[in-house]
Structures are given as C-alpha cells and as structure tokens.
Amino acid sequence: GNLLVSGKSYWLLVDLAKRRLVPTAKFTLRKPSDKITDMDCLKPAKINEPEGMELWDSRKIKYSDLDTNGHTTNSRYGAFIEDALPAEYRGKVPSDFKLNYSKEAMLDSTLDVYGKVEDGGKKLTIIGKTAEGCSFEAELYY
C-alpha cells in the first residue's frame, strides 16, 4: 500500500517513413483522454544545458542498445546515465529524475555523456551527445 514511484510522461508520434512528428489532429486511432491526474513528481519540461559541463563518459552504441526502429531504446538511456555518474553518486537513489529524449542515437555512433554537479551536490545535469547532436538531457535531484 506504500507509493514507491510516481511519474508523468509526454510522448510524440513520429511518421517512420518521413521521420517527422505526427500532428495530434492527424492521430485518429483513438480520441485523446480528458482525464487529468495530479502527480507528486516533477512536471516534464525543457532541460537547459548549463555552462561548464564535463565529459563523464563516452560509449559506442551497440546492437543490443537498439529497439525495433533501429535507434537506441528508451530504457538504455537510464543505464547510460547511471554508468556515467561520479563515484560518490553510485548507489544513491535520487528523489526526483527528469529525462528528455532529443535525438535518436544510432548503431555505431559514439555517445558522449557530459555532466555537471550543481546546487551543492543536490542536482546533477547530464547530457548525451552524438556527432549528429544532442541525444538526451537529464536532471537528477538528491
């Protein structure tokens, strides 16, 4: 009966052939929900890249990182973030976590993971970039 995790997400629909967003008005498989639920978590929002980011990790995207669309599956980004954390944050459980997916990381691309510790160690901003651009942005709060 104890709440362990709460979260909220926003999703986009993409036309796979055109690799473009599908406008909500053109999505006709079901009508949008009118249900609104208050959540006790951070609201999804843009994450800005702070000055002074440092390279924390660099990794090559492997076949096992991919989903059926041929780009890095969403669940792998959390592992990439966890692997890049400074030693003093490994094993610590954040009180809040925000992750934005910006651009797909493709097979054999190199993902450079940059980070910055802010607010006296209470906030970590982590950004993953490939040669094609920013792949993800994340904030962890402790």
Q: pLDDT by residue (tens digit) across 25-62?
A: 777 777 767 777 777 777 778 899 999 999 999 999 99
What are the percentages of helix, strand and coil residues in the chain, rounded to 5?
Answer: 15, 35, 50
pLDDT score of 125 = 98
Please tell me the distance from the alpha carbon of residue 91 to that of residue 88, in angstroms, as a whole number. Answer: 8
Confidence of residue 136 (pLDDT cuts 50, 70, 90): very high
**Among positive and negative, which fits the CA dihedral 34, 102, 43, 92?**
positive
Read off the pTM: 0.78
Percent of all residues in the chain with a pLDDT value above 70, rounded to a whole number: 96
Tell me the average pLDDT across 4-27: 75
pLDDT score of 129 = 97
